[in-house]
């Protein structure tokens, strides 16, 4: 039986995926164009790491995303992380 990896995708990650779809661009291709590792792209899109300002600017230009939609997605991810942090059993002690 083969194990499948399950990836949680952040709002920002979903936005990036939708942004690169029309170009038929994969994560590794996008990473190469941005000058970062595919692992970094995956970690940012999954919400494991927050994107740097430079990454945000580069991705906005590369995919033609609006600054407003990128900021909204990042803000939604921050709210989700804050909610998860305060709802964790240890955080409530």
pLDDT tens for 66-92 read 989 998 998 988 887 666 656 655 555
pLDDT: which is higher, 7 or 31: 31
pLDDT at position 66 is 92
- Helix 67-87 with 53-63: angle, nearest 10 deg: 130
pLDDT at position 90 is 57
pLDDT band at 51 (very low <50, low <70, confident <90, very high): confident
For 11-87, the fitting CATH number among 1.10.260.40, 3.30.70.100, 3.40.50.300, 2.60.40.10 is 1.10.260.40
pLDDT: which is higher, 32 or 76: 32
Q: What residues does each domain of the chain span?
A: 11-87
Question: For the chain, give me the number of helices (H) and strands (E)?
Answer: 5, 0
């Amino acid at each position: 039986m083969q194990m499948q990896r399950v990836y949680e995708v952040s709002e920002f990650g979903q936005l990036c995926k939708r942004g690169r779809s029309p170009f038929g661009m994969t994560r590794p291709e996008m990473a190469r164009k941005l000058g970062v590792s595919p692992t970094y792209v995956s970690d940012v899109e999954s919400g494991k790491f927050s994107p740097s300002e430079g990454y945000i600017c580069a991705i906005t230009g590369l995919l033609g995303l609006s600054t407003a939609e990128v900021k909204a997605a990042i803000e939604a991810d921050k709210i989700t992380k804050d909610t998860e942090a305060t709802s964790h059993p240890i955080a409530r002690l």
